[in-house]
Homo-oligomer: A and B are copies of this chain.
Amino acid sequence: MSGESAFIDLLRGLPLHPGARGLDDDAAVLEVGGETLVLTHDMLVEGIHVLPGQDPADVAWKLVATNLSDLAAKGAEPMGVLVGYMLGADDARFLEGLREVLSTYNTPLLGGDTVSGGPPRSFGLTAIGRATHVPVPSRSGARPGDAIYVTGPLGAALAGFEALQAGNLNTALPYRRPVPLLAEGRALAPIVGAMMDVSDGLLLDSWRMAKASGTTFAIDRSAPPIVLPEARRDEALRWGDDYQLLFTMPDGVEPPVPATRIGKVKARADDAPLVLDGTPISSPEGLGYSHGG
């Protein structure tokens, strides 16, 4: 969910740590004492990334889960998190969610900061993980000839979002409590060409991965599994927050985790990172959800 924006483009001009891969990716990679660390930082803002009035425990869950999802896409094992928390009316409930998500993913709290502020309140989280495979997978490793996969169905978060607005908390779970695919990411890391989590919509994130790799992704619009009615396929492919893993692998190799093949990587053609059912798409506009961009 790292920001994609002109600001990030400007930031790219700043000096980077020799061990850091930089800002074209969802996480920073840093060599320390013979280990390879992966660091991510995401912010959530009330009214933008979470609904106003949403259960604070859900906010805590999502804050942690979205960062752990970035670690999952790197095949990294969580070592801990630091939380930036803006105090509110129901801090104890936020804490309950924090406790739940950290114990579910066996991830310790390392520290953090609390401040007053808002509305809207905002929350930050930094996750630090240990890479289980080097080189750490990135967005830029897709090669012409690779097959493109996604680990699971899309549109679950959108359906959950609508259920939450309708007051149905249980069916809203995929939106309220996204699941970081940590085990899947670790299994895939040694094999993939490129990998990232689908946070901003399958089409937009495919476009970004193809762009970072200098390739063109030819995607079959009907291939990705969706949980919405067929009539809403376009929405399912454009809505974010599902946190499935998008990855490429050499053609003919069987993925070690359940995944659906959705297309093929080609040499860059027509200046279009994405070709959808044969139609070249040059611009990311309208492909998905762009956070703060």
Which A residues are within 8 Å of any B CB, using their own CB?
Answer: 1-3, 5-8, 10-11, 13-17, 20, 22-23, 25, 27-28, 30, 32-35, 37, 39-45, 47-49, 79-80, 82-87, 91-92, 95, 98-99, 102-103, 108-118, 120, 122, 124, 126, 128, 130, 291-293
Contacts and interface: CB of A to CB of B under 8 A. Distances in A.
Given A15-B102, A34-B33, A292-B87, A23 B112 contact: yes
Copies in the complex: 2
A78 to B, nearest CB: 10
Contacts of A15: 102-103, 108-109
Given A16-B108, A39-B111, 10 more contacts: A3-B85, A8-B114, A10-B95, A20-B108, A23-B112, A32-B33, A41-B112, A86-B122, A115-B291, A117-B292
Contacts of A124: 41, 43, 84, 113, 124
Name the residue among A2, A5, A41, A108 with the largest chain B CB count within 10 angstroms: A41
A25 B110 CA distance: 10
A83 B20 contact: no
Contacts of A98: 11, 14
A111 B14 contact: no
Contact of A3 (B7, B49, B80, B114): B114
Contact of A39 (B3, B42, B82, B116): B82
A86 B20 contact: no
A75 B225 CA distance: 52
A82 B48 CA distance: 21
A110 to B, nearest CB: 4
Nearest to A40: B111
A91 B115 CA distance: 23
A106 to B, nearest CB: 8
Closest 8 CB pairs of A and B: A3-B114, A33-B35, A124-B124, A33-B33, A45-B117, A17-B108, A28-B110, A28-B111
A64 to B, nearest CB: 11
A140 B153 CA distance: 51
A252 to B, nearest CB: 34
Contacts of A23: 109, 111-112
A111 B27 contact: yes
11 contacts: A1-B113, A2-B113, A3-B112, A20-B108, A20-B111, A25-B111, A39-B111, A44-B115, A45-B86, A117-B292, A122-B122
